[in-house]
Amino acid sequence: MSAEPVKQGISDIRRSARLSVAPMMDWTDRHCRYFHRQLSRHALLYTEMVTAPALVRGGAVHLLEHDPAEHPVALQLGGSDPAELAKAARMGQAAGYVEINLNCGCPSDRVQSGTFGAVLMRQPALVAECVRAMQDAVDLPVTVKCRIGVDDQDPEEVLPEFLARIVAAGCERVTIHARKAWLQGLSPKENRDIPPLDYDLVRRMKQLFPNLHISINGGVARLEEAAALLDGGLDGVMIGRAAYHQPWDILGTADARIFGAAPPQPGPEAAARAMLPYIERHLSGGGRLHQVTRHMLGLFAGRPGARAWRRHLSEGASGADAGPELVEAALERLAEAGRDAA
Ligand SMILES: Cc1cc2nc3c(=O)[nH]c(=O)nc-3n(C[C@H](O)[C@H](O)[C@H](O)COP(=O)(O)O)c2cc1C
């Protein structure tokens, strides 16, 4: 794979956004994204959320480091201060990201205390100000990831108003996690499962805002479901947990099924081997094997030998001198277990 950045125009990004991998803290780090990029050349990838205060006040520019081969990648920012977000967006543009996304969906306590994430669903005027400030600061698309509402809000009422405000502020693309967040009483994990999904409301938003590129998110477990949502008129589907836990089933078949393009790898074994040069580079720079391979544990999910692969890789990878040969050995175990099962 080329190490040159993929120069993407806005129409290319809109096309990539037909299928995206959700921003996920501690999961979609640079190693995960590099791995996902071996599986799909076209899907849009998102960083973990990076807070604007960490970048602007904390000077934590290392949080922006990534490999150009990961592109197209969008940077997700957390924050609610328009001027600070504008500065952070500029830093993201300088670092090479193709889109800046504002997190209005994350319900965690830590995030609530900083007034960002899902609590911003209550402050559409402030979100619009943030979007406008970021859009004025960069030449990239500024997008928003939101919920359908929070707590006792009526999504039928607040979601159209929220969208109208951000559209007026210059946002042309949004991802809607199709459930409420309950800010009191539910953990972030419960907030990804318990509030019911309302896909119909998101579909109605597409009718109400025909020019807004709308991606739906939440509970999509199989690529076929994503294809059906696209066929039903939505512009994009964002997948989180399923893409992480079953990366081959979702991303390995996405280029053929969603983008009408040749898949980069013929199968999951080849995808594992495609990671070896990257792993070698990472190790020679002082990194640990586990930092990369922890994202690859689900590569054979649902296939014979998946457990042997997962076990061999997870048990061996944290050793200080674990190297790429462990990946080859785990592939051997997978093949043996597959033969035993046959
Ligand atoms: C481990 C984990 C971390 C997450 N971190 C973020 C985050 O940083 N920003 C964000 O907007 N959403 C975050 N989310 C929510 C996902 O982006 C997504 O909206 C949610 O998982 C629902 O999609 P899914 O059902 O396809 O997983 C996180 C989800 C998980 C599982």
pLDDT at 278 over 50: yes
Return the SS3 of 238. Answer: strand
pLDDT band at 2 (very low <50, low <70, confident <90, very high): very low
**pLDDT reported for residue 1:** 38
Of all protein residues, the one whose alpha carbon is nearest to atom 4 of ligand 1 is 24
Average pLDDT over residues 278-305: 96
Considering the domain architecture, whether residues 109 and 252 belong to the same structural domain is answered as: yes
Other C-beta atoms lying within 10 Å of the C-beta of residue 113: 9
Average pLDDT over residues 230-257: 98
Task: State the DSSP H helix or E strand holding residue 100, giving kind and residue range, or none if neither.
Answer: strand 99-104
The whole-angstrom separation of Cα 335 and Cα 175 is 40
Residue 219 among known ligand-binding residues? yes
Per-residue pLDDT reduced to its tens digit, 145-191? 999 999 999 999 999 999 999 999 999 999 999 999 999 889 999 99
Separation of CA 24 and ligand 1 centre (Å): 5
pLDDT band at 295 (very low <50, low <70, confident <90, very high): very high
Is residue 24 lining ligand 1, measured as CB closer than 6 Å?
yes
Q: Measured from the CA of 217, which atom of ligand 1 is nearest? A: 23
Considering the domain architecture, whether residues 56 and 199 belong to the same structural domain is answered as: yes
Is residue 20 lining ligand 1, measured as CB closer than 6 Å?
no
pLDDT band at 10 (very low <50, low <70, confident <90, very high): confident
32 carries an active-site annotation = no
pLDDT band at 110 (very low <50, low <70, confident <90, very high): low
In a domain, residue 133? The reply is: yes
Residues 6 or more apart from 58 whose CB is under 8 A from it?
none
CATH of the domain at 320: 1.20.120.1460
Per-residue pLDDT reduced to its tens digit, 71-97? 999 999 999 999 999 999 999 999 999
The phi and psi torsions of 91 (rounded to 5 degrees) equal: -65, -40
Per-residue pLDDT reduced to its tens digit, 111-144? 655 688 999 999 999 999 999 999 999 999 999 9
Average pLDDT over residues 57-76: 96
The boundaries of the domain holding residue 21 are 10-257
**pLDDT reported for residue 4:** 44
**pLDDT reported for residue 108:** 73
Considering the domain architecture, whether residues 156 and 237 belong to the same structural domain is answered as: yes
Dihedral of alpha carbons 164, 90, 15, 37, sign: negative
Question: Per mean pLDDT, which range of 2-6, 79-83, 185-189, 210-214 is the poorest?
Answer: 2-6
Is residue 241 lining ligand 1, measured as CB closer than 6 Å?
yes
The whole-angstrom separation of Cα 12 and Cα 33 is 19
pTM: 0.96
In a domain, residue 187? The reply is: yes
Residue with tokens 């597409």: 206
**pLDDT reported for residue 3:** 38
**pLDDT reported for residue 118:** 95
**pLDDT reported for residue 113:** 56
In a domain, residue 243? The reply is: yes
- DSSP symbol at 68: G
Angle between helices 306-316 and 325-341 (to 10 degrees): 150
Q: Domain boundary residue among 234, 257, 280?
A: 257
Considering the domain architecture, whether residues 245 and 299 belong to the same structural domain is answered as: no
Of residues 155, 144, 249, 242, the one with CA closest to residue 197: 155
The answer to whether residues 45 and 21 touch, using CB atoms and an 8 Å cutoff, is yes
pLDDT at 9 over 80: no
Q: Which two tokens stand for residue 324?
A: 């790429």
Beta-strand relationship, 99-104 and 73-78: parallel
In a domain, residue 203? The reply is: yes
CA atoms within 13 A on the CB side of 338: 15
Per the prediction, the chain carries an average pLDDT of: 94
Per-residue pLDDT reduced to its tens digit, 249-259? 999 999 999 99
Separation of CA 177 and ligand 1 centre (Å): 9
Q: What is the CA radius of gyration of the chain?
A: 20
The answer to whether residues 216 and 236 touch, using CB atoms and an 8 Å cutoff, is yes
Considering the domain architecture, whether residues 210 and 120 belong to the same structural domain is answered as: yes
